[in-house]
Structures are given as structure tokens and as C-alpha cells.
Amino acid sequence: MSTKELTTQPYMDVTGEVALTFHDAVTGELVAERVHKNLVVDTAFQILPWAIGRDPNKQIEFISIGTGGDYQEQPAGSPVDTGTRNPATVTDQGNRIELFRAAIVTIEFPDLNSVRFYSILQADESNSAGIDEFALLSSDGTCFSHEVNDPDPAPPNRAVKYTKNNGLIVVVRWTLDFFRCGGSPSAVTIPDSGGIPVVITP
């Protein structure tokens, strides 16, 4: 079996955060602000090559607002709030229950290694008392990163749920940071596009 040996460069890590600012819908006054670290999920690395190659279906286009951050797998697929916290993992591909999908309205680059996406929830959008998770989605709905609200410190330590009503406008600011990390992964064998294994050595 033919193989091709490659030497890896220092690898890349992707991190980020989700910031929410709640504003009075009439005056625009800042009412509250919350910041959470996000989790870049496995499907992000399926999006990246296509996004870099300008595939219109893989551009980051939406921020999904959902509920179900305190979930356990149920046979019917419906989350049941039992108080047992089971937060998002890298294999999750979006929110448990999507309440609203907001389009990206602005993109900026705060640093050379960062990109930031903005969505705005207007007064009449996504009004709910149970918002506790968010997802950053591509044009075709593939999840890039996922955030579940931090648990309430008071028992039973369920994820904090935000209430959005028609008296509030919420600005969602999602920042992704790309870092070059030291070291190399262990040697692995992966198939290339033609099915020929490629051996990667550190």
C-alpha cells in the first residue's frame, strides 16, 4: 500500500467567546452584559476547508438561540430538565431546541488572528424565558461552535436561563481566536482524496 510522509508544522487551536448585551428597546440603555466561553465542535473542521475555498454553503451566516442546555438524551429527542447538567461536547452539532435563528449583520476583525460576528435580536424576536444555549452556524446550518450557559451556583445547579421580552434588544457578539500552538501531534495515517493513506509524522 502506497503512503506519503509529511512533517507537521505547529498546530492551530481555535477558541472564542460569546458576549451578550441587553439593551432597553426604547432608550437603548445597556441593562446587562454576559460573557461566556464557547466550544468549537468537531463539525467546525469540516466547515473550514470549504469556507476558505469560498463555498457559499459553508460561510458563517447565523447565530442560533436555543434551549435545552440542561439536557439528557431522551428516546423521543426531547430534553427533560432533571437537574443533571450535561453540557455541550465537541460532538454536538447545534442547540437541542432552536428558538430563533438570527442572521449575521456585521463581521469585523479585531486582531490579525481574530474574527467577530454580530447578530441583533430585535424587540419582537426570540422572546422566551428559557434561553440557555447558542450556536454559530454556517449557511447550510452546520455548527461551528456551541455555548451552553454556565450553571447557577445555587442547587440544583442548572444552566442559567435568560429571559428575552419585547422590552429588550439583545446584541450577540461572537469572537473566534486562532492560535498557533507549539508541538506536533503523534504520527497518524489518514486517507487522502484518492484513498491513498498519508502518514503524518511529527
Which pLDDT belongs to residue 199? 38
Q: What is the pLDDT of residues 40-93, one digit of tens each?
A: 888 888 888 888 888 888 899 999 998 876 654 444 445 554 545 556 666 777
Tell me if residue 48 falls in helix, strand or coil.
helix
C-alpha to C-alpha distance for 180 and 113, rounded to whole angstroms: 9
Distances (CA, A) of 122 to 125, 126, 128, 141, 160: 5, 8, 13, 21, 22
91 phi and psi angles, rounded to 5 deg: -90, -10
Name the one residue in this structure whose C-alpha cell is 508544522: 9
57 phi and psi angles, rounded to 5 deg: -80, -10
Grid coordinates representing 54?
469560498
Q: Whole-model pTM?
A: 0.75
Which pLDDT belongs to residue 23? 93
pLDDT surpassing 60 at residue 1: no
